[in-house]
Structure formats: C-alpha cells, structure tokens
Amino acid sequence: MIFRGFGVWVDERDISMDSDYKKELQSVLKQKTVSLPQVFIKGKYIGGADVIKSMFEVGELAKILDGFPKRQPGWTCRGCGDARFVPCWNCSGSRKVFDEDEESIKRCLECNENGLIRCPDCCP
C-alpha cells in the first residue's frame, strides 16, 4: 500500500508462485521461516512491514525513493494482467517437453514447478 502510494516500481515476488523465491529469501535472510512481506530496495535488504511503516512515518522512505522510476498509474501489464507470471512458452505449462534427439519426454527447464515463467513484458 505504501509503495503503491509512492507510485514506484515494485517487483512483487510471490513465494507461493515459485519455490525458488522462497529459497532465495531464506538464504538471504539466513532463516528457515520468513515472515512476509520482506522489502528490498535496489537489492539491499530493508526489512518487514513494520520497518517500512516506521521509515514511511519519519519520511525516511520518501528520501530513499526519491528519483525512483515511477509506474504509470493504472498501468496493467498486457502480457500477464499483473500476475507477473505467464504460462511457459516452451511447454505450455505442462512442464514436460519432448526431446526430439532422445525421443523421450523431459522435464522442461524453462519454467518453475508450476509451469510458469516470469512475464517477459514486466519482469524482464
């Protein structure tokens, strides 16, 4: 909500959509259980909702976000409808591809465990 108010670009990573996000977060925070949300700004770990809220209240957040690229209000990605994921182009979301050389069904390497890939339009 706070970031939406600033209108800045937020890369929202839903860890339920991709277990790699969860693993990444666990390794960055060095914790097995992570409470959400966790906020990173320019790749630097900032903190959870409480930290962001207090930074917002003292005006610290506005300073940090000054000069950040702004997202057009009301903009919705045409590629994914803001889901940030699209079905894999390689396997159509089935997670299986036919290997013509070996004539066997292989696990698709392009997508995550849900047969999804990051939307190339908004999450390049």
Q: How near is the Cβ of 84 to Zn ion at its closest, in Å? A: 6
Which residue, 67 or 74, has its beta carbon nearer to Zn ion?
Answer: 74
Binding residues for Zn ion (CB under 5 A): 77, 79-80, 88, 90-91, 108, 110-111, 119, 121-122
Which residue, 61 or 111, has its beta carbon nearer to Zn ion?
Answer: 111
Q: How near is the Cβ of 66 to Zn ion at its closest, in Å? A: 26
Which residue, 20 or 121, has its beta carbon nearer to Zn ion?
Answer: 121
Which residue, 31 or 92, has its beta carbon nearer to Zn ion?
Answer: 92
Interatomic CA distance for residues 7 and 62, integer angstroms: 11
Q: How near is the Cβ of 101 to Zn ion at its closest, in Å? A: 18
For residue 61, give the 3-state DSSP assignment.
helix
Q: Tell me whether residue 79 is exposed, middle or buried, using C-beta atoms within 10 angstroms of its C-beta: 0 to 12, 13 to 18, 19 or more.
A: middle
Q: How near is the Cβ of 57 to Zn ion at its closest, in Å? A: 32
Q: Closest Cα partner for 17 from 120, 95, 115, 121?
A: 115
Q: Which helix (H) or strand (E) holds 20?
A: helix 19-29
- CA atoms within 13 A of residue 65's CA, in its CB half-sphere: 21
